[in-house]
Amino acid sequence: MSIIAESLNKYIFPLLALITFAVLPNNPFAGSYAEAAVYNNKEKIYLKEITPILYELSEVGKSVSQKAVSLQNGSPEECSYEFGYYQGIVESLRVRLNTVAAPTTMLNIQSTALLAIGDYISGLNLYTRACTEDDYNMKSKLGYDGMQRIIDADAKIKQVNYLIANPRAQAQPQTQVQTRTQAQTQAVTTNKIAQMCASTWPADPRMQDYCVKNQTEALSKLNQMNRTYAPGSRERQTIQNCSSLWKKGDTYDYRMVVFCVENVLGKQAIPQ
């Protein structure tokens, strides 16, 4: 169990320390955020609503970190129960966060925070499985994989902190040239989707329309994911791998790309 305990001590505390730094009302450094970013009323309300959720997540993380070593030295039953208990709490926090409506300027904060919680849940689940694993090699693998999920969550929380400090960092006004280029690219992509659907359902216009609708919605999800994840991240690499698997001529089966990404990363990886 030592590798799992070390993983918890090494990675969970820094992760939640970052959350606490960003959201604690009495944080002596929080003033720099307020000075650096000007929030409108909707944004202020949103931040006020998500702050206690992220704070509760930090409290759960502190408790897990404090108990990690004793849990690893205890019985497998107690270890599984405790990690499962914490996982349930984090699940409930995800439900609560999903009920908060994010302003357009803070959609990336919302989706990134949800993805961080998803990684946290995944990490706790892996640690829970390791509690009762008798094979040392498998136990080590589960511990390592759990640690990686915590690292992924840590990176996302750093991004949440940055977005809170710079809420418009990814919402800069576009030039007319950029807007026109995007419109042209979108028109070409839409035409390719229509051609693919027509070739798939040549004698059924109703199914062609249904196909175009599904493909367009899937493409929108992929675009959101590409905006959410940093270049070189595990998620972006997964999107690239899945896209290469479902390339059809000069376009892609976007619906199957999304399905592939969900299978690899879990449904929580798809921004809602």
CA 40/CA 36 separation, integer angstroms: 13
The predicted structure's pLDDT at residue 92: 92
**Residue-range domain boundaries for the chain:** 2-165, 176-269
The predicted structure's pLDDT at residue 51: 84
Q: Indicate the angle between helix axes 41-73 and 76-98, nearest 10 degrees.
A: 170
Residues in Cβ contact with 18 at an 8 Å cutoff, skipping those fewer than 6 apart: 154, 157, 158, 161
Q: Could you tell me if residue 57 is left (phi over 0), alpha (psi between -120 and 50 degrees) or otherwise beta? A: alpha
- Per-residue pLDDT 10s for the chain (272 aa) are 444 444 444 444 444 444 444 444 444 334 444 444 578 898 889 989 988 888 887 777 777 767 765 676 678 898 889 888 988 998 998 899 989 988 888 888 888 888 888 878 887 887 788 888 888 888 778 777 777 777 777 777 778 878 888 755 555 444 454 445 555 566 667 778 888 888 888 888 888 888 888 888 888 888 888 777 777 778 888 888 888 888 887 788 888 888 888 888 876 656 55
Q: In this structure, what token pair is assigned to residue 217?
A: 């919605």
The predicted structure's pLDDT at residue 269: 59
